[in-house]
Amino acid sequence: MVKTGIEGLDERIGGLLRGRSYLVTGETGTGKTLFSLTFLIQGIRMGEPGIYVLVDEDYDDFVRGANDFGWDVESLISQGMLNVLTLMPDFVERLKNKPANTVVDSIVYGILEETRKIEAKRLVIDPIAPLMVNEGDVAWTREYIKNLIINLEKRIGTTNIIVSEIPTGSTALSRFGVEEFLAAGVFVLGLERVKNTFYRTLFVRKMRWRPVPPDIYVFDIQNGKGIVVKDKLANILRA
């Protein structure tokens, strides 16, 4: 089992299956990027190098934001413990109207090269949506996501976090309605308003081969530490 390293989470889920893929989903502003980066940073502290695949954010903006938050990612990069791979719009544009297998091969090959350089054990793709170069084709999208997850697990072998944003107010678990079926687990992040108080929440919707109770937990975001999972929302409201 792989420990996420996220304070308050591992004791509740028992860790992740090594080499499998997990979906982190939620509306905008719910903490998906920080959840994913906490997973990578804490993994590095446990001796597991990681790859962060940036899909819709500029590299310099990402590094600046992480540094402002209290994570010296440039130092981790120079130490060979972290690699940040950017897949910019021109990369995606070149792959439009290509078969799903061709797109997957291009993405996985690029990630595999970077993974070998630092012997990475953890991988984050944030987010997956811009990589859907033929998004309007439902059959293509399903084939693509299936092939992508299978290839990540079989050819690269890292433990993976895939970020998917859902529209505000939607009851869906993912952007395309298929990611959750292929992932080994699903973490749903949200914001719950109770009277005049907002709570950041985490719901473990799915955890393959783990007897995880269906509870909603409250979490905090702390500078230099990232996501910290607290008590069950129900317990906090009863207090």
CA 74/CA 53 separation, integer angstroms: 15
What pLDDT, on the 0 to 100 scale, is given for residue 203? 95
- CATH, range 10-188: 3.40.50.300
pLDDT in tens, 46-90: 999 999 999 888 899 999 999 999 999 999 999 999 999 987 666
Q: Can you state the percent helix, strand and coil of the chain, rounding each to 5?
A: 40, 30, 35
74 backbone dihedrals φ, ψ, rounded to 5°: -65, -40
pLDDT in tens, 136-185: 677 777 888 888 999 999 999 999 999 988 877 766 666 666 667 788 99
Q: Are 122 and 128 in contact (CB under 8 A)?
A: no
End-to-end CA distance of the chain: 34
The contacts of residue 63 (CB under 8 Å, 6+ apart) are 73, 74, 84
Residue 86: exposure state from Cβ atoms within 10 A (0-12, 13-18, ≥19): middle
pTM of the model: 0.91
User: Is the bond preceding 167 in cis, omega lying within 30 degrees of 0?
Assistant: no
